[in-house]
Amino acid sequence: MKKKISITLTVVFIGFSLFGQGFISPEKQWNVRLVGFPGAFSTEIFKIAGDSTIDTISYSKIWASYDSLETWSFQGLLRENAKVVYFLPPQAGEGILYDFNLEIGDTAYVINAFCTDAEVPIYVTDIDTVEYFGVSRKRWHLGENGIADEYWVEGIGSLNGPLYTKYWYCIVCPVWELLCYHQNDELLFRFPGEIECYQNTVGIEESFGKNNISIKPNPVKKGNSIEILADIYPKRIDIYNPSGVLIKSLTPMPGQPFNIETNDLSPGLYILTITSRDGKTQSCKILVE
């Protein structure tokens, strides 16, 4: 009888050890892929290192590297309390980065690395459990009308990157997505279908500097039109769903403003790829509500 009780307790302990992972830890590393146009990538690497105290409140420092760990750029301060993660950017006030207490149907407001002065609304459409590399984690589906456009994963954070929840509310291009996540140098998440955790192509920064794209409004209500303004002259505009399936392809009229109608688009997240007359392309996210 004693042996059976001991085995039962061990199984329960192991099962619960897979859940309740905290977010802030110096043992973690996030590799975030930045996608500007097809075939062009760069990788941002995030880590937590060092502490700071402000008004008796203790914080951890979060850093980013854009050149394969050669140099690190300070991104702000983090603290965690009762499954809520707070972010203090260098030039703004503190706000909520994550709330891992949210339940299905809850609405909350968060900030990110780009929306530091304005809170971004999030709505939980579903919660389930997902397994990465043998570890089960709680996953939050964020979106509208039952359609998820982003995911939070317990212990990992946003699958856009640790500081990038709903980043497209404040910056449209390019696209950020979590490529890999490590803890104690152990790979615990990798973007589906990928092999390498560091991807970079020459000249991506130069291309972004030349091709500025403005899409407004974004998000857009279904039935309204989206106006596109770009430094490059669009030859073709392709709209893809998050799975990479081409939904429609559009050809702008020369010398005229270009609008995209959303009547035939279901609510959700889409990838917009703009191809210029000289063959350059750039991708952005749009959200139809």
Taking only the tens place, the pLDDT of each residue in 128-164 is 999 999 999 999 999 877 777 899 999 999 999 999 9
Domain, as residue range, for 221: 211-288
Q: Are residues 215 and 264 located together in one domain of the fold?
A: yes
Nearest residue to 86 via CA among 55, 109, 114, 63: 109
What's the domain count of the chain?
2
Structure tokens at 78: 């983090």
pLDDT tens track for 112-129:
998 888 899 999 999 999
**What is the distance between the alpha carbons of residues 88 and 94, in angstroms, rounded to a whole number?**
4
Q: Are residues 94 and 156 located together in one domain of the fold?
A: yes
Q: Are residues 152 and 242 located together in one domain of the fold?
A: no
- Boundary (domain end) residue, out of 145, 161, 190: 190
Q: Is the pLDDT of residue 1 over 50?
A: no
Q: Is there a domain that residue 269 lies in?
A: yes
Please tell me the least confidently modeled range out of 7-16, 206-215, 218-227: 7-16
Q: Is there a domain that residue 205 lies in?
A: no
Q: Is there a domain that residue 253 lies in?
A: yes
Q: Are residues 47 and 164 located together in one domain of the fold?
A: yes
Q: Are residues 125 and 220 located together in one domain of the fold?
A: no
Q: Is there a domain that residue 6 lies in?
A: no
Cα atoms in the 13 Å half-sphere on the side-chain side of 164: 27
C-alpha pair distances (Å), 125 with each of 57, 105, 143, 150, 153: 33, 6, 6, 10, 14
Q: Is there a domain that residue 14 lies in?
A: no
In whole numbers, what is the pLDDT of the chain averaged over residues? 81
Q: How far, rounded to the nearest angstrom, does the alpha carbon of residue 13 sit from its chain's CA centroid?
A: 32
pLDDT of residue 8: 42
- Reported as type and span, the H/E element at residue 4 is helix 2-17
Q: Is there a domain that residue 83 lies in?
A: yes
Q: Is there a domain that residue 104 lies in?
A: yes
- Reported as type and span, the H/E element at residue 234 is strand 234-240
Q: Side chain identity at 255, as an amino acid letter?
A: G
Q: Are residues 84 and 138 located together in one domain of the fold?
A: yes
Query: What percentage of the chain reaches a pLDDT higher than 70?
Result: 78
Q: Are residues 146 and 78 located together in one domain of the fold?
A: yes
Q: Are residues 49 and 133 located together in one domain of the fold?
A: yes
66 with 73: CB under 8 angstroms?
yes
Q: Are residues 49 and 155 located together in one domain of the fold?
A: yes
CATH classification at residue 242: 2.60.40.1930
Structure tokens at 188: 């615990």
C-alpha torsion angle, residues 15, 17, 19, 21 (rounded to 10): -170
Q: How many residues does the chain have?
A: 289
Task: Output 263 or 124, whichever has higher pLDDT.
Answer: 124
Coil/strand/helix, residue 130: strand
Average pLDDT value for residue range 212-232: 76
pLDDT of residue 6: 44
